[in-house]
Amino acid sequence: MPTAEISLGVTLAVLAAGFLHALWNALLKSASGEPMLDTALIVAGATLVCAPVVLVAPLPERAAWPFALASMFMHFAYYVTLAGAYRHGDLSFAYPLMRGVAPLFVTLAGVAVLGEHLGASAFAGIGLISAGIMLIAWFASGRHTASAVGWAIANAAIIATYTLIDGAGARAAGNPWSYAFWLMFLEGIPFLGWILWRHRAEARRYLLRRWRRGVLGGAASVAAYAIALWAMTRAPVAVVAALREVSVVFAAILGAAFLNERVGWRRLAGAAGVAAGVAALRL
């Protein structure tokens, strides 16, 4: 069982993972194409990046494979709901909403399912991070449609589910890095197969035309999740899940800098709440 505390090194690594996660989501949203094809572009890039690694990476322990199989199904649903959220809402609204709700789900389930024991400061930190993130979402500019909320909440539930599955899988794998690379290589195959079957020639042309963006976003996606899974073997899953959602602050900055999305003082207050939550996790 990982320690109930999170070290400075793990904290900094998870914050870096958060930036990488925000980066690939910004690349997805800024692609300005069909959200499902843009999602497939990132997934294809991640699969391509992982392909040479799994040729030399050791197989995870047998005990980890049931978790990996379950996670593959959940990630398929994640990509579908992610595309739906971005089809109906802006990055600055949909992204923080789905990422802010997920840590609350993970915390409750982590205590109940994984038997993790969190101190008062950890609970306070997770609460502050989630509250700050949802404040960022609430005062985001752009579209705040009911459909965007529905897709984002569904995505948050899926994020919480696969986070718990992969946290347990990474611990059972013996090598969390190997688990991460094999998982992200294998999970992309059924989703890409479905996209190619559904969109056929259009999907092939789209992927070939924009493959550089896909590789960049895929590499950021792989690195972000591999770091997070490694961290889950060093600290409670709920703490890592909350800490990596600081990515929402990075996403707000990227949205303002490159997607012309307004920040405003209310969203800055939300960012301050997130920072206070990070500080609480380090107490």
| pLDDT 10s digits, 199-257 | 888 889 988 888 888 899 999 999 999 999 999 999 888 888 888 877 777 777 776 77
Q: Which helix (H) or strand (E) holds 40?
A: helix 35-54
Domain assignment of residue 163, yes or no: yes
Mean pLDDT of 185-195: 92
pLDDT score at 49: 96
Domain assignment of residue 269, yes or no: yes
Domain assignment of residue 2, yes or no: no
pLDDT score at 224: 93
Which has more pLDDT, 79 or 107? 79
Which has more pLDDT, 202 or 264? 202
Mean pLDDT over the full length of the chain: 82
pLDDT exceeds 90 at position 258: no
pLDDT score at 2: 58
| pLDDT 10s digits, 66-91 | 999 999 999 999 888 888 887 887 76
| pLDDT 10s digits, 17-50 | 988 988 887 777 666 667 788 888 899 999 999 9
Counting Cβ atoms within 10 Å, is residue 157 exposed (0-12), middle (13-18) or buried (19+)? middle
The CA distance from 17 to 276, in Å, is 19
Q: Please tell me the least confidently modeled range out of 146-150, 169-173, 250-254, 256-260.
A: 256-260
DSSP state of 64: G
Q: Are 122 and 239 in contact (CB under 8 A)?
A: yes
Q: What is the DSSP string of 70-109?
A: HHHHHHHHHHHHHHHHHHHS-HHHHHHHHHHHHHHHHHHH
Mean pLDDT of 89-94: 73
Domain assignment of residue 1, yes or no: no
> Please, what is the angle between helix 176-199 and helix 211-232, to 10°?
140
Q: Please tell me the least confidently modeled range out of 19-28, 68-77, 117-126, 150-159.
A: 117-126
pLDDT exceeds 80 at position 140: no
Domain assignment of residue 32, yes or no: yes
Domain assignment of residue 198, yes or no: yes
Q: Are 61 and 174 in contact (CB under 8 A)?
A: yes
Percentage with pLDDT > 90 across the chain: 33
- For 204, other C-beta atoms within 10 Å of its C-beta total 12
Which has more pLDDT, 22 or 158? 158
Q: Does the CA dihedral 283-110-238-157 come out positive or negative? A: negative
**How many helices (H) does the chain have, and how many strands (E)?**
12, 0
The CA distance from 45 to 51, in Å, is 10
pLDDT exceeds 60 at position 142: no
The CA distance from 75 to 98, in Å, is 15
Q: How far is CA 16 from CA 5, 72, 244, in A?
A: 19, 24, 8
Percentage with pLDDT > 70 across the chain: 82
* Confidence tier at 171 by pLDDT (50, 70, 90): very high
Which has more pLDDT, 83 or 173? 173
In which domain, by residue range, is 61 found? 8-281
Domain assignment of residue 3, yes or no: no
- In the chain, the number of structural domains is 1
pLDDT score at 32: 64
Give CA torsion, residues 161, 247, 1, 168, to 10 deg. Answer: 30
Domain assignment of residue 235, yes or no: yes
Which has more pLDDT, 50 or 113? 50
